[in-house]
Amino acid sequence: MKRKIQVVICRVCSQGVPVLDVDKLAKTAAEAPYVGSVVTVDYACQSKTISSIVEDAKTKEADRVLVVPCSKKDVSPSLFQAYVRRGKINEFLIETVDLTNEVILPHREDPTRAQEKAEARLAAAIARLAALEPLEKHEEPMRTKNLVVIGAGVAGLEAAQVAAGHGLHTILIEKTDRTLKAPGVLLSKSRLLRAKGHGGNFELVIEAGEKEETLECAVIVVASGGDWSQGKGSLTRSCKEAMPLFRLKDSIDSGTLPSGPVVIVDTPDPKGSTMKAQDFAWDDALDLAMIAKRASPETDVTLIFQEMRASGLSELTYKEAAQLGIRFIRYDNKSPPTIDEKDSKRLIVKDLAQDEVVSLRFSTLSYASIPANPDNIGIADALRIPISLDGGIRRGSMQRGPVTTPRPGVFVCGSAMFPKPEAVARAEGKAAGILATQFVASGTVEYGGAVAEVTPEKCSACLTCVRTCPYEAPFIGAAGKAEVRTQLCQGCGMCAGICPSKAIDIHNYTDEQLSIETEAYLRGGF
Amino acid sequence: MIVAKRKPLDEIAEMIAPYEKVAIIGCRSCVAICLAGGEKEVKMLVSAMKLKNRKDGREQSLDGFVLERQCEKEWVKEVEEKILDSDIVLSMSCSLGTQTIGDMYPHRIVVPGLNTAIFGVPEEQGLWSEKCLGCGDCIIDTTGGICPIARCAKSMLNGPCGGSSDGHCEVNLDIECAWYAIHERLKLQNRLELMEYVRPPKNWSTSHSGGRRIIVREDAKLTPHQKRGQEVLE
Ligand code: SF4
Ligand code: SF4
Ligand code: SF4
Ligand code: SF4
């Protein structure tokens, strides 16, 4: 096989912070073994540039491409895959290097060191790319067109609606016994217990009412929402009438809000060390505060919080709320708000901005925190998707995958990640519904590529990989040696790392390939 | 299986320090499975020793490889050249492998890289517990399938000592009292009467007390004629 590398260096990063001499870097890289040619471009991350990079590589008869963009977080090999697939380049022969985070930012003050390190980093990437093998992917038909949505809240219903509109058979799993108009099937009082399989062909075990049911589905949307049931905390203990935000909404909607000052606090337990800024549903809090204020402008409305994260359009809402005369008080954990011991209709809090302790009389006290849904742990465990430290389901990437999870065929939307205003949850639900539809559209699942493979002669059948793999991919086959179900393997590498007999390799991440890369780096350049 | 644990790096380094050419030999059987002396551990030890040698400014050639089963001569024979070419063999198998090589090549210095510890069961990933001492005359038919020889600190034969409390052993409160476990198991099986069964003093001559033990299976042994035939084939 020929090994000809096209190196593409993006200039944009170096323009912003003139640390690197990109032309010099390009010149040295051109001398490296296996490098066919080196080109510099602007904005490697734009689709226009991407397609021309691939075209250019093809005309120069390169069989592999190294892209050196400003930040690997955004420009990952997956960006190129769609383009590359259509061309002659194997999608596993595209690699990226992140010079911004690895070189430019840490060595801003020392351009000489930065240049040296960039060269070493590039040499390592080129050595690695030259050592890679083209890999194949395989296809398997999807057995169903089922979409399972976990949680029939705002986001979940929206996802189901959209997907059903596109012909998917939707099944909603809802833990309460709420009856609602839903597309497809609604399983109430039910929850996900276990999941087997992989994107395209999942097999779920659901607890529905008293019994367990098995469900096949192609794609899953997690819309478990936040934890609305909570409300235990120091404020609710000392003031029985304190209510969660949605109750406040109900009483405003039904016109039963008592007259008198309204106070909204970010959490029912400001003393608790567990309060996390992420839990504060500031968007809803701002909205409701404004509705209450507009309904009766003479009413005092106060918002008390540790951190206001009103970003994007909410920034305008924040401004508008201030103009309406809503009072904002910021506190910190050292002096959290408490109910006055002598008067349970008074809240005492130290205003950080004024540096003074204020005592607020209120008729209505509401708290605006929606902690992560504790069910997320079970859901994430069953589906093998990551959750954040706060207990929310983690999304792929804010910019490039706001409703995806690292697992193909599993999407997430709404407050399952962290509290969202209704409109955002709805929009995310729609997005997840569309992505789910798109995922099912081809009717086939792809698998393989950079996955694990066992060398049977080396395997001691020790079961370590079987016990370790989070996806239950390895098993001991008929020959008494470990085998990997490629469809299930996510290429995470845990089995290869722990196998005591070094019998497992992850394609394109073999010890040899990793050593080649490390050694090139340690040699420190070309 | 036999469960072993690697010796500390400093101890290993000291054993092999005077020698230039070191053959580090692992085993793919029990010690691989208990994550002590398989190919991965051998490679890691080679790397660790290389780093240590570089740090200490010592030159040493370290060659690491693994055998299917180090306690069997045929497998050892396969790497005879490498063994004879070395100044010292660091065996990363249980001591059976170490001694097999030592007995085959008495002029070679063979040292253990592992501490061979127990006959153990992997209770979970990374945790092994001892369940048998190899006494040579198994009695667990009357103890609910739980071995009081290995699992009781005092190898009590007829019920617990006076120190058993709340199911824990007085020797170490983190260990379950074997006799408590036996009682619970027998209760579960409706065989509590076995608690009153008196086990006569055990004949320890089948255990190590009778000296080095040898097990013979006459029907499996080769006849002198067969042995000659084998030699001819070789
Ligand atoms: S961990 Fe390695 S040796 Fe053990 S069963 Fe898996 S492949 Fe075989
Ligand atoms: S790489 Fe190994 S541990 Fe990871 S998913 Fe694949 S088989 Fe499982
Ligand atoms: S009684 Fe002897 S042979 Fe049986 S398990 Fe105990 S030590 Fe092993
Ligand atoms: S407490 Fe139980 S296990 Fe411990 S020595 Fe006594 S009988 Fe044996």
pLDDT-based confidence at residue A229 (cuts at 50, 70, 90) = low
Q: pLDDT (tens digit, 9 = 90+) per residue, A98-147?
A: 888 888 888 888 888 988 999 999 999 999 999 999 999 899 999 999 99
Q: What is the pLDDT of residue A409?
A: 93
Identify the architecture of domain A449-507 in CATH: 2-Layer Sandwich (3.30)
Q: pLDDT (tens digit, 9 = 90+) per residue, A419-473?
A: 887 888 999 999 999 999 999 998 999 889 999 999 999 999 999 999 999 888 9
CA dist list (Å): B93 to A197, A346, B27: 39, 73, 5
Q: Which of A177-181, B26-30, B117-121 has the weakest average pLDDT?
A: A177-181
Residues B90 and B142 in one domain: no
Residues B74 and B30 in one domain: yes
Chain A residues touching residue B33 (CB < 8 angstroms): 460, 462-464, 500
Q: Is residue B218 part of a domain?
A: no
Q: What is the pLDDT of residue A272?
A: 64
Q: What is the pLDDT of residue B59?
A: 94
Average pLDDT, chain A: 87
Q: Is residue B226 part of a domain?
A: no
Q: pLDDT (tens digit, 9 = 90+) per residue, A385-402?
A: 999 887 899 988 777 789
- Indicate the residue of A463, A468, A501 with minimum beta-carbon distance to B40: A501
Q: Is B153 in the pocket of ligand 4 (CB under 6 A)?
A: yes
Q: What is the pLDDT of residue A432?
A: 97
Residues B112 and B140 in one domain: no
Side chain identity at residue B17, one-letter code: A
% of chain A exceeding 90 in pLDDT:
48
Q: For atom 8 of ligand 2, which residue has the closest CA?
A: A469
The answer, for B5 touching chain A at a CB cutoff of 8 Å, is no
Residue B118: beta bridge partners? B3
Q: Is residue B199 part of a domain?
A: yes
Q: Is residue B216 part of a domain?
A: no
Structure letter (DSSP) for residue B140 = T
Q: pLDDT (tens digit, 9 = 90+) per residue, B44-100?
A: 999 999 999 999 999 999 999 999 999 999 999 999 999 999 999 999 999 999 999
The residues spanned by each domain of chain A are 5-135, 146-227+373-445, 263-357, 449-507
Q: Do A464 and B39 touch (CB under 8 A)?
A: no
Residues B102 and B172 in one domain: no
Please check the confidence at residue A74 and state whether its pLDDT lies above 70.
no
CATH of the domain at B67: 3.40.50
Range of the domain at B141: 133-210
Q: Do B125 and A464 touch (CB under 8 A)?
A: yes
Same fold across A146-227+373-445 and A449-507 = no
Structure tokens of B180? Answer: 């408590």
Residue A81: beta bridge partners? none
Q: What's the sign of the alpha-carbon dihedral B22, B27, B31, B37?
A: positive
Residues B37 and B94 in one domain: yes
Please check the confidence at residue A526 and state whether its pLDDT lies above 70.
no
Main-chain dihedrals φ then ψ at residue B52, nearest 5 degrees: -65, -45
* pTM beyond 0.90: no
Q: How far apart are CA A52 and CA A56, in angstroms?
A: 6
DSSP letter string, A404-417 = B-SSTTEEE-GGGT
- Which one of the ligands is nearest to A451 CA? 2
Q: What is the pLDDT of residue B186?
A: 97
- Which one of the ligands is nearest to A454 CA? 1
Say if the ipTM goes beyond 0.90.
Answer: no
Please check the confidence at residue A242 and state whether its pLDDT lies above 90.
no
Identify from B5, B27, B28 which residue to disrupt to test chain A contact, counting A C-beta atoms within 10 A and taking the largest count.
B28
Residues B86 and B17 in one domain: yes
- Mean per-residue pLDDT, B135-160: 96
Structure tokens of A301? Answer: 């409305």
Pocket of ligand 3 (CB under 6 A): B 132-135, 138-140, 147, 149-150
Q: Is residue B51 part of a domain?
A: yes
Structure letter (DSSP) for residue B202 = P
Residues B82 and B153 in one domain: no
Q: Do A468 and B33 touch (CB under 8 A)?
A: no
Sheet strands side by side (includes A5-10): A35-41, A5-10, A64-68, A94-96
- Mean per-residue pLDDT, A214-226: 95
CATH H-level superfamily of A146-227+373-445:
FAD/NAD(P)-binding domain (3.50.50.60)
Residues B103 and B169 in one domain: no
Identify from B5, B34, B35, B40 which residue to disrupt to test chain A contact, counting A C-beta atoms within 10 A and taking the largest count.
B40
Question: Looking at domain A5-135, which of 3.30.70, 2.60.40, 1.10.287, 3.40.50 is its CATH number?
Answer: 3.40.50
Q: Is residue B127 part of a domain?
A: no
Side chain identity at residue A142, one-letter code: M
Residues B12 and B91 in one domain: yes
Residues B111 and B142 in one domain: no
Q: Which residue of A has its CA nearest to B66?
A: A501
Q: Is residue B7 part of a domain?
A: yes
Residues B114 and B17 in one domain: yes
Domain count, chain B: 2
Q: For atom 8 of ligand 4, which residue has the closest CA?
A: B152
Residues B10 and B113 in one domain: yes
Q: Is residue B146 part of a domain?
A: yes
Return the ligand 4 atom nearest residue B155 CA: 8
